[in-house]
Chains A and B, each alone.
Chain A
Amino acid sequence: MEIIIPRRNVIWAYIIVGFFALVSVVTLAIHEYYIYLSAYLWFGFIYGMCLQYGRFCFASAFRDLFAVGVPRMVVGIMIATFLFAITSGLVAATGWSTFHPAPVSIHSAIAGLFFGVGMVFAGGCASGSLYKTGEGNGVSLLVILSISVTQALFVDWGGILNKFVPAAWHKSALEKGLPDSINVGDGWVDQYLAGYVWNQPVKTYAQSLGMRDDTLIGALLGNTFFGVLIPALMILTIVYIFWVRKNYVKKLQAENSRSVTFKDHLNGFWGMIMASKRTSIAGLLLGIACGLQMFVIEGLRMKFGVKNAGTLLVRLGHDFGISAKGTVFDPGYWYVTTQEAQWVGWTLQKLGMNNMDNIYFGWVNGIPSPAINPADWMSVALIGGAAVMALLHGEFKFKAPTRELAFWAILGGFFMGIGSRLALGCNVGAFFVRTANGDMSGWLFGVGMIGGAYIGVKIFNWYTERKMAKEMAGFDFDL
């Protein structure tokens, strides 16, 4: 039965698409360089549509698994990661991938732990909160605000946090030879980055097997097969054994009372995979879109003779908030949290706080105005794309947060913000994209995130049971 969609939903969907189309056409008419920002915009829009369609949320995935034993979304995410890895591998093999692996060490797992706890508290991961905001969810909007503010403050925070910086990090950070405008000796994150993270090895599975990332064999065999398929199959097997097998065997034995064979288990495993079709399709489309975005961005960089959007912004006369090395955040693929930190960083800078003396903003990402920040265009369009899908499926509804949900959203956003900065990315940038591209730090973050989600579910259950017990104690039963 087809759902009847109110006419106003359809009108709003066209208004949103029309607005983005108008922005693209008008800015292109002003200057050719703005097409670079439009590229981010339209791919962001596609990501939003895919996320909403596939209900692609890591928090829901692990909460459903650990709290109620439903594996559908976790399985979907694993399959989506593998499908994305295939498209990423093909792009990498052409030599045009914009992906850069991150340093590998235990810090990724610790960061994942923070992030995992946070996403369960908040009821949505970084990407999930964006698409849920597009569905009109006020709690998700609060989560985004909390992630953004936490990151922007955390990256500049020195003071008492400086006391927790090991002397070796401080010394190593000072030796990096950063310009005077970057106060590298003050600020916990600065010294963590320059004194610790930058000293860690950067490796992909292909490189560790002696292959090159930009060859077909390195990308597809080294990174996709060994780096994604094998670990994903291991996780899927664990999920099948601990969460699916018992009920499946019970059902089989009830239907025909005979012993279960290995072939039955293979059928059960396949059935588990096929139950997650919608998330998998979304993952495949996300993967194709990410690959195409890499092509488009690299092509535009060549066309305009630049390596980073910062150069284009300066040429256009927007030199406020460009980093000391002339760059702005311009990943060339899907990313979520850094642009969220940037808009708060920009606001705080405008309010008089100096945010350009730290590595994160002042040396690497900059804080350009959100109006001309490429990655911000992507996030805004992502919310728009999700809103269009929600409107056209009758799933859009404004939901104001209650005081209790607001508390959890802010607390969860805080933990996710900390985790994102420690890992240099969120569930998208530090897990989904890195894992799919064979970056060894991706699974480390993933393991931490799963552990964090488990702890988060346990804390949340404890809180809920305690609250219910208190409420029940208020009732006076006559039995």
Chain B
Amino acid sequence: MKKHLFIIITIVIGFSSFLLGYSLPPFLEVGFGDNDAAVIDGGPGNDDDLLKQYQDLYKDTEE
């Protein structure tokens, strides 16, 4: 039983480590403690634009 549990824990750690590795580069790029700028730089603009975009999307769906 312990052997199988160990194998499964290894698989879980493997996937989790992959996820950690995948999400680490953005942190290294912008440094810790300054996420707002990074999100807006790569994002679709400011919150108001985003809000309008989705309100329009909702209208389109209804029409």
Interface residues, chain A, with chain B CB atoms under 8 Å away: 2-3, 5, 10, 13-14, 17, 21, 24, 35, 38-39, 42-43, 45-46, 49, 94-96, 179, 181, 214, 292, 295-307, 310-311, 314, 319, 322-326, 388-389, 392-394
Contact = CB atoms under 8 A, between A and B. Distances in A.
B57 A302 contact: no
A214 B32 CA distance: 11
B38 A302 contact: yes
Contact of A45 (B12, B38, B39, B43): B12
Contacts of A306: 39, 43-44
B30 A302 contact: yes
Nearest to B47: A307
B8 A96 contact: no
A326 B57 CA distance: 9
A260 B29 CA distance: 60
Chain B interface residue number, banded:
35 or more
B4 A10 contact: yes
A325 B52 CA distance: 8
Q: At the interface, is chain B mostly helix, strand, loop or mixed?
A: helix
Nearest to A303: B26
Given A96-B33, A299-B25, A324-B54, 7 more contacts: A5-B4, A95-B35, A181-B58, A292-B16, A305-B39, A310-B54, A325-B54
B8 A17 contact: yes
Given A305-B42, A314-B57, A96 B4 contact: no
A257 B19 CA distance: 59
A368 to B, nearest CB: 13
A305 B1 contact: no
A307 B38 CA distance: 10
Contacts of A300: 22-23
Nearest to A306: B43
A42 B32 contact: no
A449 B33 CA distance: 35
29 contacts: A2-B2, A3-B1, A17-B11, A21-B11, A21-B15, A38-B19, A46-B12, A95-B32, A96-B27, A181-B58, A295-B23, A296-B19, A296-B22, A298-B23, A298-B35, A299-B23, A301-B35, A301-B39, A302-B30, A303-B22, A305-B41, A306-B43, A307-B39, A319-B57, A325-B50, A325-B54, A326-B50, A326-B53, A326-B57
A179 B59 CA distance: 11
Contact of A214 (B12, B33, B38): B33
A24 B1 CA distance: 26
A322 B44 CA distance: 17
B8 A392 contact: yes
Complex A-B, nearest 8 residue pairs according to Cβ-Cβ distance, in ascending order: A299-B23, A305-B42, A95-B33, A326-B54, A302-B26, A305-B43, A296-B23, A302-B38
Contacts of A305: 39, 41-44
Given A299-B26, A299-B27, A42 B12 contact: yes
